Chain A
Amino acid sequence: MPVQEMQSAESVLEIDKLKVNFYTYEGVVKAIDEISFALEDGDTLGIVGETGCGKSVTVLSILRLILPPGRIESGCILYGTKDACIDLAQKNDEFMRSIRGNDISMIFQEAGNALNPVLSIGDQVRESFLLHQQQELCKSVLKRLSQKGDRQSGYRRFLSWRYQRKLRRAAGNGLKDRRYGRLLKIEAMRWSVDLLRNLGIPNPDELVKRYPHELSGGMQQRVVISMALACNPAVLIADEPTSNLDVTIQAQILQLLEELKKRYHSSILFITHDLGVVSEVSDKVIVLYAGTVVEFAEVRELFKKPLHPYTRALLHSVPSLGSKKRLESIGGNVPNLINPPSGCRFHPRCPHVMDICKKQKPDLYRGMGNSDKSHLAACFLYQQEGAA
């Protein structure tokens, strides 16, 4: 039975024994097999893994964006603080809609695909404001109207008073009435321009009128990031945001994310397959393999002293600067998740495989010489050290 409350006082998001299955024509794909991890406030948690390891499925299930034939079988997704947390796995769609974009935001790999090609940039950025911050928008419009009020003619003042009455009454339904909905949209557009300017994008007033295809890949990604941060979310999920970008543009975007993290006090879940990016961006890292967490550590620890055989193999297969040493590759193939290997899912490819690995699934054990829970690996090699 998964735990219903948060373990740690600093966490803002905790996943506990999450299990996700996909019911397909060819069988049940056991995509995520009871993974658990925690994201602490203000941290950047890097999620590393190769194709098919379940990184995207994990974060999509946090936002409950998994569509049938996928289903969250069991587990908790706890969001909030230790004293007041909610289990996102149990909430209905309407509730999730108020969370998405507002408390937890996501940016995707292909920024171009995340933007609607027939809507202008301004339309898309202000959408999050209009969806989640209507009350604030109404107040802002009211303030602006009341400022103009004294200088207006009698008739206009009367109209404006009527608008204000309506605004005050229906703070939630601002968009239903087309007349004052228009004012809200204009205000939201002003906010969007300010947001883009704060992000350091040049000429935002002109940019909001343009369409996505007129922008370069890097600029598109910057727009998507601004959309995600519009409502000051507590958690930002970045699903391989720079994988399709050129190296120099990637550097720009990573720098941007750094600054934004400091300014908005968000915590970031950064998914990538590039070990270099992860070492730069993250404070802590988890390594996923075939739907299971195989290692969790602070970033320096992971790169200096990788514990799990998979992590070690991964680090040795990346070409490093200056060395012409032959790259090590991992024998075998990524397992088919319809029939995953029994016990530890990595055992068919592991150079240190033991009998127990084929029978039981390892828990996360503490690494050698660690007294606190900072460096964990799911491997029976470390079982003697004690469970986490």
Chain B
Amino acid sequence: MEKHFSLQNGPEPADFLKKLKIIIALLLIIFFLLLVRLFYLQVIQGEELKQRSENNSVRFRKIQPLRGLIMDRNGLVLVDNRPSFDVLYMPHKGKDHEAVIERLKNIYKSRSLELSYDQPFPQNVKLYQPVKLEKNVSMEKVAIVETNALSLPGVYVDVSPVRLYLDGEIMASVIGYTGEISKEELEKTNDEHASGDILGKQGVEKYFDAYIRGRRGAELVEVNVHEKEIKNLGRIDPISGYNVVLTIDADLQKAAWQAFAGKPGAAVALDTRDGSVLAMVSSPAFDPNLFNSGISYELWDKMQNNPLNPLSNKAISGQYPPGSTYKLIVAAAALEEGIITPEQKIFCNGSFELGNRTYRCWQKKGHGYVDLHRAIVESCDVYFYTVGKMLGVDKIAKYAKLFGFGEATGIDLYYEKRGLVPTKEWKMARTKEIWQVGETVSISIGQGFDLVTPLQLVNAYSALANGGTLWRPHLIKRIELTDGSIYKEFLPEKKGELALSKKTIDVLGRALWGVVNEAGGTGSAARRLNSDVCGKTGTSQVVGLPQSDKARREKKISAFQRDHALFVCFAPLKSPEIAIVVIVENAGHGGSVAAPIARKILDAYFEGKKKLKPAQVAAHHQLPDKLQD
């Protein structure tokens, strides 16, 4: 090879050779150092490391963080954490796993306890990957496992935090629940999550999970055969999640829940001044604590198949025909479009003829001559059939959209439905059929294709109450750090303006006041002294049932085909503060079923305010005094 050595074209072969010599020397030094390191590990430390490898005694353990607290608007804790004890099994090499499990079973049995891990132990279990035998066990079991550690190699108890939902099902539909991350969720995520992580699965727990969940910690420990720590090789502490302060008022929420007394339906109370949600109830609900330690399959199945749908939040994902509560929108449209004047009267003889069909008023004998005010107060159907037909479906749709129907309100929750505001175009696209005038007539009293969620309905009335501002309803006031300092504040957001004239708003407001407070009003059950409640009743038909009462009575109507009872209101008339919607499924008339529930919520609201008042008044009075001094 020597003879080839020359660099004829190169600039300075000697220079390169010199440099290459340096480089080769450096390479050999690095090479030698690495070999020394290798020798040190394999030959000098070899035996010791071999021992460690055979024991497989180094464990990497994740430490779950504490989730942030969830509080109501007054700082009352609604969701806390508590320790949960799990029994785990670490499969060591060459151990008879089934025998160990069998022994644990027998030890339990001798104390008449049962091992909830009943499936056969997997044959090809992954060695040194812990298997969860039982979750959330009693202290008795913890004691048994600990005292029998010697005869149960590989079995040990692990503590991790789980959620404690202090109000159980009362808050369930708002707050949601948590659970271990599922396979699907794990696949979707980046490196952020690992198996075994606890995630919010529904409600606020899910929507604000990123704030609430905190950061996982971990530790590296050397353990003995009983998985007891011999030496801590390092630890990163978990970081607790942020606390969430809701706009919910716990007392009002409780009152609303109790007012339902288990009847299926939903209620929402909004602060009309900024769109914050004071209470949101969906009934029946579930106990979120059940999900903590993994809900049993049967129970989950039962909930899923329950026709009353306890797992869904009906306030945002229940869609109902609005019934007579929709008359407000038709009235607003007619006034703004100049179709009617408030004084103009229409004669109601109890029915409305269109072609060969007859549309009945709920009042069979008719209301006689009614103006807009009386039509709303007594909820005259014929008046609105007439006005609605004059307006046409697309004009009604225009105003319905202004009021926020047909689109999600944007509340801080997942699974919100959009409802449905039908138009001619919509029907053509959907069914390839032309819109019928009769369908407009149905729409005018909130039947037919119309669908609204309870939240949309209350938000629409709230907008009318506050003089025309459509707020984005929100559930979160602020997020706090663990020391109580504010991390992020959530300000109210405007979603739109109704763009109605002041006169229209006044006329409609007074009419709604009449519904509750005037003789003959359909919502008198919600009347409250000195509160000036304004509202509207509604009774929405579930399916196309025969119109006449007689025919209905003859047809045996099953429980799930009965009408939904609706009531939506705000109070007081002057400077309104609260708007409430109540929907009771398959319960009958709005005025007799839904309005009394709303009344109870109103009671709770105004009583609660009275309790707060003295303190506020006192504070208010002190200030000027000082200023005068």
A and B bind:
no
Report A's interface with B, CB cutoff 8 A. none
Report B's interface with A, CB cutoff 8 A. none
